[in-house]
Amino acid sequence: MTAINTYLYVAARASMEGSFLDVGCGTGTLGFILKVWGRKGDIVGIDLYEESLKKAKQIYDHVVLCDGRFLPFRNKVFSFVSAVEVLEHISKIEGKLFLKQLESLVNGLLIITTPNGFQKHGEGSENPYQKHLSGWKSRELKNLGFKVRGLLVRSKLALLIPPFITWYFLLFADDLLGIKKVK
C-alpha cells in the first residue's frame, strides 16, 4: 500500500489546471486529494484492476480499464502525467518503454514514484497486479532524464531524519520521486 505522504508529494507538484493522467490510479487516492484541493480540468485515471476502478469512478472525470504499458491516448494530450508506485510492477525492459510512452503523452510534467531498489511485495494479494517485478535506483532514473528526489515515507526513521536529508541526498530514502519536464 502506498503511503499517503507519497500522494501528497505528487499532488503538491501537480498543476491545478489542464488535463491530468493518473496511471495506475487504484481506488483514486491521488484524484481525491486533487479534487479536495480544488484542481480544475479533466482528471483521467487508468488501472488494470477492475475492482479498484469501480471506486475510482466516483472520483475521476474519466476512468479507463487498460494496461499502463499500452495506453490508448494521443501524443501530448495531457499537461500532467503521474505513475505513483507503478514502475516496479513491470520488468526493467518494459519499464524503460513504459516511461518513454508516458513522455510521449505529456506536454508538461511527468512524475513517477517507485521504491528505492527492489522490495518484495504483492505475494498473495487480492490484486494480482501488485507483485513487484523490478527495482529501480536513482542513477537509473537520472540516466533516463529524471530529476530524482528521495522520500522517507514508510520507515520509523521518518520521525528522526530531517526531510531535506532524504529529499536532496537520498539518504535513507525508501521511495524515489522522479520529475521530468517534457515539451
In tens, the pLDDT along 60-77 reads 999 999 999 999 999 999
Contact 69, 3 (CB under 8 A): no
Give the percent of the chain with pLDDT over 90.
71
- At residue 140 the predicted structure's pLDDT band, cuts being 50, 70 and 90, is very high
pLDDT per residue over 143-176, tens digit each? 999 999 998 877 677 667 777 677 666 777 889 9
Q: Which amino acid is at 176?
A: L
Query: Is the pTM here over 0.75, yes or no?
Result: yes
Domains, the chain, ranges and CATH?
4-182 (3.40.50.150)
Q: Could you tell me the pLDDT band of residue 34, with boundaries at 50, 70 and 90?
A: very high
pLDDT of residue 73: 96
- The 3-state DSSP class for residue 169 equals helix
- Summarize the confidence of residues 9-18 as an average pLDDT: 90
100, with CB counted inside 10 A (0-12, 13-18, 19+), is exposed
pLDDT at 1: 55
Q: What percent of the chain is predicted at pLDDT more than 70?
A: 92
The Cα 24–Cα 1 span in angstroms is 13
